[in-house]
């Protein structure tokens, strides 16, 4: 999207064929429990919708054939992708500005915000229609007390977690870059990837599903939980240890998946982090 918004034409990137393939592929990928995110694909799908809507509307009015208007539509679509992924319209607009960092028209602010807000609203309404929620609520709810949500002393801890996560993300991107560079230099791997395009993802899927199989090694990393369930249990404010001893605590609901009779919960968490980062 950064490339397209800078005026470079990429063939077949915003076509109906790509849209169908992307929606089916993303549905299967997320349903499989693979350690894959949905933010990037959601931005791509939203951009596809914007491009296809522009083509459709150009049948009724010539203004949508204008290249400048198409760029504005795609900038708003980037905000929509993030907005409906995390139900966070402000984050969506900030992402849209980040993607179009060289030039972002002021008139796109309200367009992006309106589109992202509407997409976030529809995203949460769908949860009500599917009877997953009783009413429109936050995507990841917390149970903090409203009168006294946290101590002032906790703010430095939150800051440290944010800094550590930032460095962790940078390390992940750096390691990913090294892997890609290594694979590009290897002629044998390149030849294999070009000839056996379907075999490579099949082997990766088989490897990951084998390692995370709940009755197998997956039992040491809460393998039976979906990505959302693991996030909910990791981010709630219930303690998993009593006076530093995990065994004395009663696990309830999804948090039971983190408990193993042979391994301490802290070992399970370390294995979970290492495996998720490595497999991703």
* pLDDT at residue number 67: 74
Instruction: Single out the residue of 74, 10, 88, 83 nearest to residue 44, CA to CA.
Output: 74
| Residue linked to tokens 């009779």 | 261
- With both helix axes pointing from N to C terminus, report the angle between 67-86 and 89-99 in degrees, rounded to the nearest 10: 140
* pLDDT at residue number 247: 57
DSSP tag of 263: S
What's the rounded Cα separation, in Å, for the pair 106 and 86? 24
* pLDDT at residue number 250: 67
pTM here?
0.78
What's the rounded Cα separation, in Å, for the pair 215 and 208? 14
pLDDT digit of tens for each residue in the chain (280 aa)? 888 888 788 888 889 999 999 999 999 888 887 888 888 899 999 999 988 888 888 777 766 667 777 888 888 898 898 888 888 888 888 888 887 767 777 788 888 889 888 888 888 888 888 877 777 777 767 667 777 777 888 889 999 999 999 999 999 999 999 998 998 888 888 888 888 888 888 888 899 889 888 888 888 888 888 887 888 888 777 777 666 555 556 667 777 788 787 888 888 889 998 998 888 8
| Residue linked to tokens 């004395």 | 248
How far is it between the farthest Cα atoms of the chain? 69
How many Cα atoms occupy the beta-carbon half-sphere of 128 within 13 Å? 10
């Amino acid at each position: 999207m950064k490339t397209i918004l800078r005026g470079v034409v990429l063939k077949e990137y915003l076509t109906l064929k790509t849209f169908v393939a992307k929606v089916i592929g993303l549905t299967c990928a997320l349903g499989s429990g693979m350690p894959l995110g949905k933010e990037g694909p959601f931005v791509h799908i939203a951009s596809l919708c914007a491009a296809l809507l522009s083509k459709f509307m150009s049948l009724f009015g010539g203004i949508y054939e204008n290249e400048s208007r198409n760029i504005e539509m795609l900038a708003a679509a980037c905000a929509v992708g993030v907005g409906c992924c995390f139900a966070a319209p402000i984050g969506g607009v900030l992402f849209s500005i980040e993607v179009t960092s060289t030039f972002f028209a002021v008139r796109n602010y309200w367009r992006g915000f309106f589109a992202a807000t509407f997409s976030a609203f529809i995203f949460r309404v769908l949860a009500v229609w599917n009877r997953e929620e009783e009413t429109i609520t936050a995507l990841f709810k917390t149970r903090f007390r409203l009168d006294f949500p946290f101590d002032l002393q906790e703010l430095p801890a939150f800051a440290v977690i944010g800094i550590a996560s930032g460095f962790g993300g940078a390390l992940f991107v750096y390691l990913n870059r090294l892997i890609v560079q290594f694979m590009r230099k290897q002629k044998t791997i390149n030849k294999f990837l070009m000839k056996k395009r379907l075999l490579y993802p099949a082997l990766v899927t088989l490897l990951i599903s084998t390692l995370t199989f709940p009755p197998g090694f997956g039992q040491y990393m809460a393998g039976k939980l979906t990505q959302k369930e693991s996030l909910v249990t990791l981010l709630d404010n219930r303690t998993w240890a009593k006076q530093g001893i995990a065994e004395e605590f009663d696990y309830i609901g999804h948090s039971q998946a983190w408990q193993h009779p042979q391994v301490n919960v802290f070992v399970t968490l370390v294995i979970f982090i290492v495996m998720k980062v490595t497999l991703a």
